[in-house]
A and B are shown apart, each in its own frame.
Chain A
Amino acid sequence: AQSVAQPEDQVNVAEGNPLTVKCTYSVSGNPYLFWYVQYPNRGLQFLLKYITGDNLVKGSYGFEAEFNKSQTSFHLKKPSALVSDSALYFCAVSPREDSNYQLIWGAGTKLIIKP
C-alpha cells in the first residue's frame, strides 16, 4: 500500500538553530511532493512542493525541502528556526499515476521552537 511516513511525532529545536522535519514515502513512480503547515486553530497552508527539476525546493517563510529519489525522502528544512515556526507540519504525496488527484498524507509532526 502507498504511504507517507513522518517518523517523528514532535521535533524540538532552539530558536536560531537549524531544523529538519523528516518525510519518507512509499509510492510507485515519480510522485509530486508537498509540505503543508497548520498553525493553531487555523486551516492548513501550502508551504512548498516538488514537481520536477532541482531537488532543492524553496518555499514560504524561509523553508526549503530536499527531494532524494534514492531514499524516497522529502525532508523539510530551515537554516535558522523562529519561535513563530512552531506549528504542525504535514507531508503529502500525490501519485502521478493516480487518476483522481488524491493526496496521501503523513500523520503530521509537531514542531516546537523554544526561545
Chain B
Amino acid sequence: EAQVTQNPRYLITVTGKKLTVTCSQNMNHEYMSWYRQDPGLGLRQIYYSMNVEVTDKGDVPEGYKVSRKEKRNFPLILESPSPNQTSLYFCASSFAGGFQETQYFGPGTRLLVL
C-alpha cells in the first residue's frame, strides 16, 4: 500500500530535550515536506526537500532541522524543543513533476512540549 508513515503519532516531552520525528514514504517520491498545523493558521511549511541531500527552508523553519540522506526518509529534528513548538505535524511527499503534483500526507504527529 502506497503511504506516508510518521512516528511517533503522539509525543509529550519537556523543554530542551532533543527529539526526532521520522517520516518515510514508499512511493519513490522526490519531493518531501514538513508542515505544522495550528488552529486558525492552516498549514505552514517548515522545511522541504526536492531530492536526496537537497533541503530548503519553508515559512517557519526556526527551531527545526531536517536531513534527506535517503530518498524515502525525511526526519524532522527539534534540537531544543520549546512550548511554542507544541503543534500537529504532518509530513507529505509527491513526485517532483511540477507545481501541479498532488501531495500525499502522513497521519500526523501530535507534539506537546511542556
| Residues of A in contact with B (beta carbons under 8 Å apart) | 9, 31-32, 34, 36, 41-46, 49, 51, 90, 92, 94-96, 98, 100-103, 105-108
A44 and B42 contact, Cβ closer than 8 Å, known pairs A51-B100, A96-B99: no
The listed residue (B41, B44, B100) touching A32 by CB distance below 8 A is: B100
A94: chain B residues at CB < 8 Å are 99-100
A90 and B90 contact, Cβ closer than 8 Å, known pairs A32-B99, A46-B104, A100-B48: no
Known: A43-B106, A101-B98. 4 other contacts (CB 8 A): A46-B102, A49-B102, A101-B94, A102-B58
The answer on a CB contact under 8 Å between A43 and B4 is: yes
Measured CB to CB, the closest approach of chain A to B48, in angstroms, equals: 7
Q: Is the interface of A mostly helix, strand, loop or mixed?
A: loop
A106: chain B residues at CB < 8 Å are 42
User: Can you list 27 residue pairs at the A/B interface with Cβ under 8 Å?
Assistant: A31-B99, A32-B99, A36-B105, A41-B107, A41-B108, A43-B4, A43-B90, A43-B108, A44-B103, A44-B105, A45-B105, A46-B102, A49-B100, A51-B100, A92-B43, A94-B100, A100-B50, A100-B56, A101-B31, A101-B48, A101-B50, A101-B98, A103-B45, A107-B40, A107-B41, A107-B42, A108-B42
